[in-house]
Structure 1
Amino acid sequence: MALWMERGSEPKTESEIADLEAISALKESAALELKEKGNEFVKKGKKHYQEAIDCYSRAINQKVLNDQDTSVLFSNKAHVNLLLGNYRRAVTEAQDAIKLSPANVKAYYRAAKACLSLNLLSEAKSYCESGIGKDPSNEELKKLAKQIDLKKMVQEQREAQVSKALVQAKDLVSAIEGRSLKIGKAMYRELTGLRKPELDKNGILHWPVLLLYAEVMSSDFIEDFCETEMFSAHLDIMLVLVCICLRPKLSIIF
C-alpha cells in the first residue's frame, strides 16, 4: 500500500498509484472544504477572523492545490489580516499570492491597501499600477490609486512646509546669534500668546514686545516691533490711543 512506501520512493504498482491518487484527492477535498469553512468564518465577523486565517493556512499546508487556488488562499489571508489591522502581515500574504499567480488582481489590491495603511505610498502605488496593468477596468484599484495620489500630495506639501519652517528657524537663529543676542525662557505666555520673533525677507528682525506697568498692574503688547524702529514711536501711538479712550470720561468730569 502507498501508506507504507518509503519517503522519496516512486509508486511501482497500479495499487500504489491508485492509493496515492486517492490520498491526493482526499487532501484536495479537505483543502477546498477548509477554504469554504474559512470564508464562512469571515462572514461571521471579527470574532471569527483568526479561525478563518487558521482554515486558510491549513488548506495551504495540504500542498495539493494548484498555484492559482493556493494564491487565492494567500490573498484571502491578506484580506483577513487587513480587516484585523495586521498590515505588514497582509503585505506578506499578498506578496505570496502574487508570486504564485501574477494574475491575481485582488492580491495587488490588498497589497496596495496594506501599504497605504503603513504609509508606504510608493509601494502602494506600484501595486496599484501592476494590478491595473492586469485589469485596466478595475474601478477599485483606480479609486485606491487616486487615494494614494492624494495622500502623497498632502504628505509632500507637509514635508515642504516642515522643510521651509526649518530653514526659517535656522535663519532666525543665525540672525539672533549674529547680533550677539541671547534668548531666555519664554514668559507671560498668557499675555503674549504664541508670538515669536520673525526674520523678514530683508533680514530684519521683528519682535513681540510686552510692556509691563507694575505700579498699575497693567500691560501693553506690541505684536510686531521692528528692530529698526524706536520705542518712542510706539509709545507716542500708545499715548494717543490712551488719550482718545479717556477723552469721553474727561469731558464728563469737567
Structure 2
Amino acid sequence: MGRVPEEIDPKEYPELAHIQAIIHDEDRTPEEKAQSLKNEGNEFFKEKNYPKAIVAYTAALKNKCGDQDLETVLLTNRAAAHFHLGNMRSALNDAAAAKKIKPGHLKALIRGAQCCIELRNFATAIQWCEEGLKAHPTDKKLQDLRAAADKHKRAAERDARKAKVKEKKLNHEKEALMAAIKERGVKLLQPVKPRQSGSDGEDDDEGSSTAVAELSLDGLSSHKATGAQVFLDEQNSLHWPVLFLYPEHQQSDFISAFCESNSFLDHFAVMFGEQLPPWDVDRKYHLQNLQLFFEDEERETLYKVDPETTLLKVLQHKRFFVKVGTPSFIILVNGSSFWKQYLTGKKMQAL
C-alpha cells in the first residue's frame, strides 16, 4: 500500500485499524504520541494535504512532551504547512516560537525570513537573516534571502519616496485648484444628509437636500461618476466637465473639459453643426432654434443664458451652484410644443 487511507474501515483493513489504535493509544507516553502524530503529519505534508498536516502537528504539540527538539520540529513543520497555504502570519508565529525554543534552528530562521518577505516586512526579514547568518554564516539560502530582502527593502523605500513626492504634488495641485475656484467666486453644491426624525435643533432649510459646500474636493466628486473633474491648466484657466440635458428626448451630452473662457456657442457650433444628433428625428435642433437655461432648484426658477456668454460668467452668477463638480444646463427648441409645455408655470429670468 503506497499510502494510508484517510478513513480506515476496520472490517476491510483490520491490521491497519489495529495499528492506528496503537498510534493513538492513551497508554503511550506524551513523547511517543507526539512522535507518532508528527509522522502522521509528515505523511499528509508529503501528499500536500496541508490542512490535515496542520491538524496532526497541532495535536502533537498539545501533548506537551517536553522534548525541545521535537517541539521545534513540530513548530517548523507546521510553519511550513501554513506557508504553503498562504497563512503567512500563522507561519511566522510558528517560526518565531520555534526560534524561541532553539534560537539557532536553521529551518525556523529561513521560514521566518521567507514569511517576512511575503508580508513585505523587509526590514524584519533582514533581521531574521542576519540573526541566522551569525549561527550559519555560510548558509546559501540565508544569504540569498538576505540579498532579496535588502533589494525589496530598497525598492519599497524608493517607491515610498516617489509616492510621497506624488502626494505632495497632488496636494499642491488641489490647493491651487481650490484657490482658483474660490478666487472666481464659484459656488459648489453637495448633498446634505437629511436630519433624522426627532433630532434636536431647528433646520433652517427644512426640505432642502443640498447646501453650499465648503471649498473642498468633496464638492468635486464628479470624477467617480464620469471620469472627469475640473482642472487648472498651465495658463491658470479652469476646465469643467459640463452636462447638457435635453428633457424633450431624455437625452444628454457631456463635455469633459469645457474651458471657462469659451462660450457655449463655441461648443454648440460643433454639437449642432453639419450633423444633428441621431435622436433628433424631427431635425429641429438647429443652432438658431436653441435656447439654453440653467435651473435654480431651490427657487424653482429657470435662468435663460445667451449662448455667446462664457462659461465663467454663468458660473459666477449668484444663483448658479455647481452640483458634485459638474455644471449642468438645459437645452430646448424655441417655440416647440414641448418648449411651451416645459416652461408653463415656471418662473423665468434672464441672466
TM-score range, shorter chain: 0.5 to 0.7
Quick one: structure 1 residues 213 and 51, their matched pair in 2 at CA, closer, same or farther if it must change by over 3 Å?
closer
Out of 269, 280, 284, the residue aligned to residue 215 of structure 1 is 269
Distance 1:118 1:218 in 2: 57
1:185–1:99 CA distance, 2 compared to 1 (3 A):
closer
CA distance in 2, matches of 1:147, 1:59: 34
Checking the alignment, whether the CA contact within 8 Å between 1:115 and 1:121 is kept in structure 2 is yes
Q: Which residue is 2:44 aligned to?
A: 41
> Structure 1 pair 197/162, CA: closer, same or farther in 2 (3 Å)?
farther
Work out whether residues 34 and 56 of structure 1, in 8 Å CA contact, stay in contact via their aligned partners in 2. yes
Q: What residue in structure 1 maps to residue 137 of structure 2?
A: 136
- Give RMSD over aligned pairs: 3.4
Residue 60, structure 1, aligned to residue 61, structure 2: yes
Q: Which residue of 1 aligns with 2:122?
A: 121
2: distance between equivalents of 1:53 and 1:171?
Answer: 52
1:30 aligns with 2:30: no
How far apart, in 2, do the equivalents of 1:68 and 1:198 lie?
A: 69
Greater mean deviation of Cα atoms: 120-129 or 61-70: 61-70
Q: Which 10-residue stretch deviates more, 176-185 or 166-175?
A: 176-185
* CA distance in structure 1 between the aligned counterparts of 2:36 and 2:79, rounded to whole angstroms: 19
Question: Does the aligned pair in 2 maintain the 1:74–1:93 contact within 8 Å?
Answer: yes
Relative contact order higher in (CA < 8 Å, ≥ 6 apart)? 2
Aligned position for 2:154: 153
Match for residue 248 of structure 1? none
Asked if 1 retains the 8 angstrom alpha-carbon contact of 2:110 and 2:142, the reply is yes
Q: Show the 5 A alignment for 1:39-118.
A: 39-45=42-48, 48-118=49-119
Paired with 1:79 and 1:40, the residues of 2 have a C-alpha distance of 14
Assess if the C-alpha contact under 8 Å between 1:31 and 1:65 holds in 2. no
Q: Distance in 2 between matches of 1:193 and 1:63?
A: 63
Structure number with higher helix proportion: 1
CA distance in 2, matches of 1:41, 1:64: 22
**Aligned AA (1:58):** A
* Counterparts in 2 of 1:213 and 1:54: CA distance versus 1, 3 Å: closer
Pair 26,176 (structure 1): closer, same or farther in 2 beyond 3 Å: closer
Which letter does structure 2 place at the counterpart of 1:71? T
Q: What is the deviation of 1:135?
A: 1.1
State the partner residue of 1:230: none
Q: Does 1:197 align with 2:232?
A: yes
Q: Which residue in the other structure is 2:167 paired with?
A: 166
Q: Is the 8 A contact 1:109 1:128 kept in 2?
A: yes
Q: Deviations over 1:99-158 (max 9, x none)?
A: 111111111111122222222222222112211222122222222222222322232222
Map of 1:246 onto structure 2: none
- Structure-2 separation of matches of 1:105 and 1:148: 17
TM-fit CA distance, 1:69: 2.3
SS at match of 1:213: helix
CA-CA distance at 1:186 after TM superposition:
6.1
Moved more, 168-177 or 64-73: 168-177
SS in 2 for 1:64: coil
Q: Distance in 1 between matches of 2:123 and 2:233?
A: 37
1:31 is displaced (CA, Å) by 2.3
Structure 2 stretches lacking a partner, 5+ long = 1-25, 189-219, 240-256, 274-351
CA distance in 1, matches of 2:74, 2:85: 17
TM-score normalised by L of structure 2: 0.46
In structure 1, the residue corresponding to 2:164 is in which secondary structure? helix
Kindly state the Cα deviation for residue 175 of structure 1 after the two structures are TM-superposed: 2.9
Amino acid at match of 1:214: F
Equivalent pairs: percent with the same residue? 25
Q: Secondary structure at the match of 2:138?
A: coil
